[in-house]
A = this chain, B = another copy of it.
């Protein structure tokens, strides 16, 4: 058997699993990658001290990297060696690619099963026949992500140079940051984190824009790209994602700005221009890149609570962002507006939304809220910490956001393991759950008599 033939067989096998049990594929791939990254990090050469890291720290960092979360139990810049940081970056890259391709494959599976003629890759349908849809998808995802990452790195590299960083170090920091930004990972290898760049527009604007591109999701990027000459004709998914994302960014930024404007420990001490920039960063990072240029731990209780809500919603579907996703929120809100108006159909942008989609949105958000609630309850019992900081860290892990009030390193091992489980479920569980629900559809012949309980 020649090599191309061998590869073709492997590709067909992957295609088969992807078609028939996409959820199992997602869990299997992610668990394997996390296991490998954990082993690679659990080595003496991975730390600057040359000592073998604790297993839980290695597992936590690997999960946080592959699930593009950004929560850390040890400081990325000082604890891990360059080898360790390189492993983390590769973990982020594979994790980000994995999320985007798997979510897109799940989306394909759903649309195929439901029998819609309109597919995710409508534009490139004809020429994908040879490679198979899945192979074509993966290629498109890789091209798009590398293109954005290279662009970001090319913008950031000269900035580090002008700050007096040596050329090689500048290149490394620019590449790491570019990968971390596009994949919404929130990891930083800069010695003092992002704090010194709180007023640095050259650094923070690419951060804001790169984060947003990564967080709207691959289907939106592809759809906008293929429809770039006739932007009015983008899909309902694209319209819903972009409008909800923009509304959350604007609303979140204004509210966080209002809450923190006079807080001397965060925005209050900054000049006006820096304050505006820092507010925008604080407004976009909950959805869900998790970078912070001001000290989250010093923010007001109300800012934490608002950020909780923003993180829980998260970013776009099939993106590197987490949370229940902006379309889920949009569909829920539209359903409630329709209910309040007494309409039979849920309508938006001159389109009707299938009731089955609304049921999935309800299940995803309700199950997400339940997981957050139960995890919070467990962590409150495992520690003596208060609700405000526990809830923040739990939602940050579940929504793979990575913002932190600073308690993660202080948690007991059991608490850290709980966050590992939360990051994994938040990353893999939400999207596979939604796909699994959308794929199931049992029909019963016998219908029971109807009866109405009283509600409210």
Chain A residues in contact with chain B, CB under 8 A? 103, 107, 110-111, 114, 116, 217, 219, 235-237, 240-241, 259, 300-302, 304-306, 309, 317-318, 324-325, 327-328, 330-332, 335-336, 339-345, 347, 350-355, 357, 359-364, 366-367, 373, 376-377, 380-381, 385-388, 390-391, 430-431, 433-435, 437-438, 440-444, 447-456
Residue of B nearest to A337 (CB): B363
Q: Once bound together, how far apart are the Cα atoms of A91 and B11, in whole Å?
A: 74
Determine how close the nearest CB of chain B comes to the CB of A247; give it in whole angstroms. Answer: 15
Q: Once bound together, how far apart are the Cα atoms of A332 and B431, in whole Å?
A: 21
Residue of B nearest to A301 (CB): B380
Q: Once bound together, how far apart are the Cα atoms of A54 and B362, in whole Å?
A: 45
Residue of B nearest to A316 (CB): B454
B residues within 8 A CB of A110? 454
Q: Once bound together, how far apart are the Cα atoms of A425 and B167, in whole Å?
A: 63
Contact A450 B387, beta carbon cutoff 8 Å: no
Contact B360 A455, beta carbon cutoff 8 Å: yes
A342, A376, A433, A452: which has the most chain B beta carbons within 10 Å?
Answer: A452
B residues within 8 A CB of A377? 302, 305-306
29 contacts between A and B (CB under 8 A): A103-B454, A236-B452, A240-B453, A241-B453, A301-B385, A301-B387, A305-B387, A309-B373, A317-B453, A317-B454, A327-B453, A327-B455, A335-B359, A335-B362, A336-B363, A336-B367, A340-B437, A341-B442, A343-B442, A344-B442, A345-B444, A345-B448, A351-B448, A352-B447, A353-B453, A357-B453, A364-B456, A386-B386, A386-B388
Main DSSP-derived SS at the A contact region:
helix
Q: Once bound together, how far apart are the Cα atoms of A33 and B402, in whole Å?
A: 50
5 pairs of A and B residues whose beta carbons are closest in the complex: A434-B456, A342-B440, A302-B380, A387-B388, A317-B454
Q: Once bound together, how far apart are the Cα atoms of A376 and B454, in whole Å?
A: 28
Determine how close the nearest CB of chain B comes to the CB of A261; give it in whole angstroms. Answer: 12
B residues within 8 A CB of A450? 351-354
Q: Once bound together, how far apart are the Cα atoms of A433 and B456, in whole Å?
A: 8
B residues within 8 A CB of A351? 448-451
